[in-house]
Amino acid sequence: MTVGVRLNCDGPVATVTLCRPDVLNAQTPQMWRAMHDFARDLPGDVRIVVVRGEGRAFSAGLDLSVAAGRPGPGESPENPGESPGTSLAELAALPPEECAERIAGFQAGFTWLHRPDLISIAAVQGHAIGAGFQLALACDLRVLTTDATFAMAEVTLGLVPDLAGTKRLVELVGYARALEVCVTGRRIDAAEAERLGLATVVVPPEQLDGAVGDLTAAILSGNRDAVVEIKALLAGAAGRSPAEQQRAEREAQTRRMRDLVGAGE
């Protein structure tokens, strides 16, 4: 198990679990690097990735003690980890290009969940704040419990959301609402999240596992190649004109029909 996060695979379903319940699964750069590495460790038959948190929260966001330069989980002051330079002060001291490149590495711990061959599901209970909210946004679908709370709280620290969550947020709720959510840092409860389109489904806490299991089973019942093509069609739709989207549909359908009858062999 990697410090703070673990990966378990069970046939076509992989589960990424944030496992720091004592600090509400607060995240560290070490955890983001581990999550990026998980993408390389997935067996080829995995179709679905479920992301969840241990305990009563999904994730309270960035671990502020690590951001302040104190050792992360499993580290000591004498051995602060393999990749120094992750506190805010250390990052700010880097040349701008190097700082941006370091942040790109952090983003990679989230963006692999966009992979076209996977459907990612966030199972969210309790707080999903800042980096926690962005991790939920990195997933294709979000199952929330009635006690779930979202907030893009970076503004309260004088920072901006930088873990690939801003585009997803705008796509889901529109520019004006995304702006309001980000610049106020306010809390969004599960009922509002459902109204805004941030939640795929909202269930009582005791039904979270069952709801995620039902959704997973429904996705797995579909033809894998068809699901991959459908995700690509929908993910690219916003950037295409109507004519371009129609062409993409035609091309995808042609590939599916040829594959189904063996014409592509």
Per-residue pLDDT of 169-214, as tens digits, reads 999 999 999 999 999 999 999 999 999 999 999 999 999 999 999 9
Cβ(47)–Cβ(220) under 8 Å? yes
Residue 2 — pLDDT band, cuts 50, 70, 90?
Answer: low
| pLDDT tens digits, 49-97 | 999 999 999 999 999 887 777 655 555 444 444 445 578 889 999 999 9
What pLDDT sits at residue 264?
61
- Rounded to whole angstroms, the Cα distance separating 222 from 215 reads 12
